[in-house]
Amino acid sequence: MKFAALLAASASLLTVPAFAQDTAGDHDKSQDFNGLYVTVGGGGTLQGSDRGETLVFDTDRDGVYGDPVNMIGGTDAFAPGFCNGAATGTGNIGCRNDKDGPEFFGRLGYDRRMGNVVVGALIEGGHSVARDSVSGFSTTPAAYTLSREADYQASARLRAGYTPGGGALFYVTGGPAYARLDNKFATTNTANSFADNGKTNGWGYAAGGGAEIMVARNVAIGLEYLYTDLKDKDYAVNVGPGTADPATNPFLLNGGGTDIQRSDPHFRTHSVRGTLSYRF
C-alpha cells in the first residue's frame, strides 16, 4: 500500500500541461535526448517486509554460521523468536517496521540517439535515509537488534529507450551498484560485552525504468522507478564475556564467545523518484 501511494503521488511529476513541450520552441526535436546531460532528483525509498529474516550464530567462531545457542539444559536460548524490524521491548512482543524515507541524488550521463532509439550510460551518487533492521529475543529475557542504512550509494548503469519523434523518452536501465553501509547494534543484554566492525561495503545491482519529457529547450523532467539489491556478508557482532559467567552464559559455553550476523545479507530497496535534467 505504501509503495502504491508513493507511486501515485510521484506520477503527478509528469502531469504537465499539454503545451509544456511547445515551450521548448521550434528547436530540432531530432536532437532531443542526444549528448551529455546532468540530473538532480529525489523521491522515496521503500523496503519489503523481509519476512523470515533471523539472526544466525557462530558459537565456535569457525566462520560457519547456523550454530544453535543453547542454555545449560539444551533448550534454545532464542526460543522467543525473531522479527524483521527494530525490537520494541525485551520479550518477543514485536518490532517497529523498517524505516522508509526520502532520498536524493545527482547523475551525469551521456545518450546517443539513433532515429527513435536512444542508448546511453550514466553514473549516479546519492543518499537515502531508509533503514533495515532485524531483531532476536532470548529467554533471559533480552533483545538484540542489527540495523543498517546507506551513508552514500552509487551506481554505473546503461540505459536504452524509445522516443517517438522527440519530446518524450521511455527507457529501461540497469547496472552495478555500491553503498557504504552504516551498521548499528543495540541490545538490552548488560552482562556480555559486544563489539562490531561498524561500516561495511555493499555490492550489487540496480535496475528499473522511467520516462522523461522535454519541458523547455535543454530541460527535461522525469519519473523513475529503481530496484536496488546490495549484498553485505562482512558485518558481524562479536559477543564476549563481559561480566557474564562462562559456565552458564549460552554465548560462552562453546569456548568463550559467539559471533552474530543476519540470516539475509541482502539490502533490497524500491525507489520512486522525480528527476530534473539539463542537456548540453
Output the pLDDT for position 90. 67
Mean pLDDT, the chain, integer: 88
Poorest-confidence range of 102-111, 221-230, 255-264? 255-264
Which residues have C-beta within 8 Å of that of residue 3, sequence separation ≥ 6? 46, 270, 272
Confidence check: pLDDT of 209 > 60? yes
Q: Which of 176, 268, 181, 173 is nearest to 228 (CA)?
A: 268
For the stretch 99-125, pLDDT in tens is 898 999 999 999 999 999 999 999 999
Topology of domain 2-279, per CATH?
Porin (2.40.160)
Rg of the chain in Å (alpha carbons): 24
Local structure of 255: helix, strand or coil: coil
In single-letter form, the type of residue at position 64 comes to V
Terminal Cα-to-Cα distance of the chain (whole angstroms):
39
pLDDT value at 18 more than 70: no
Greater pLDDT, 141 or 94: 141
According to the model, what pLDDT value does residue 9 have? 46
Residue-level pLDDT at 47: 83
Contacts of residue 81, Cβ cutoff 8 Å, sequence gap at least 6: 92, 136, 137
Please compute the mean of the pLDDT values over residues 264-273 and round it to a whole number.
Answer: 94
**From start to end of the chain, where are the E strands?**
35-46, 55-58, 81-83, 86-87, 95-96, 101-114, 117-128, 132-138, 142-162, 168-187, 193-196, 200-216, 219-231, 237-240, 258-262, 266-279
Distance, CA of 107 to chain centre: 18
Average pLDDT over residues 42-70: 90
Peptide bond into 164 cis (omega under 30): no
Boundaries of every domain in the chain: 2-279
* pLDDT, greater one: 21 or 37: 37
Lowest mean pLDDT among 27-36, 51-60, 228-237, 246-255: 27-36
Average pLDDT, integer, range 231-246: 94
Q: List the single range of 17-26, 129-138, 222-231 with lowest mean pLDDT.
A: 17-26
pLDDT per position as a tens digit, 67-89: 999 998 889 999 999 998 899 87
Q: Are 85 and 133 in contact (CB under 8 A)?
A: yes
Using CA atoms, how far apart are residues 54 and 134, in angstroms rounded to an integer?
Answer: 7
Handedness of CA 34, 38, 42, 44 (dihedral sign): positive
**From CA 256, how far away is CA 79, in angstroms rounded?**
22
Q: Quick check: 21 pLDDT over 80?
A: no
pLDDT of amino acid 227: 96
pLDDT score recorded for residue 27: 65
CB neighbour burial string for 18-43, b if at least 16 within 10 angstroms, e if fewer:
eebbeebeeeeeeebbbeebebebbb
Which triple of cell numbers denotes residue 96?
A: 517497529
Contact between residue 94 and residue 121 where contact means Cβ atoms under 8 Å apart = no
**Residue 66 backbone dihedrals phi, psi, to 5 degrees:** 120, 5
d(CA 71, CA 87): 22
- State mean pLDDT over 19-46: 77
Provide the 10 A C-beta neighbour count for residue 247.
8
Residues 133-145 have a mean pLDDT of 93
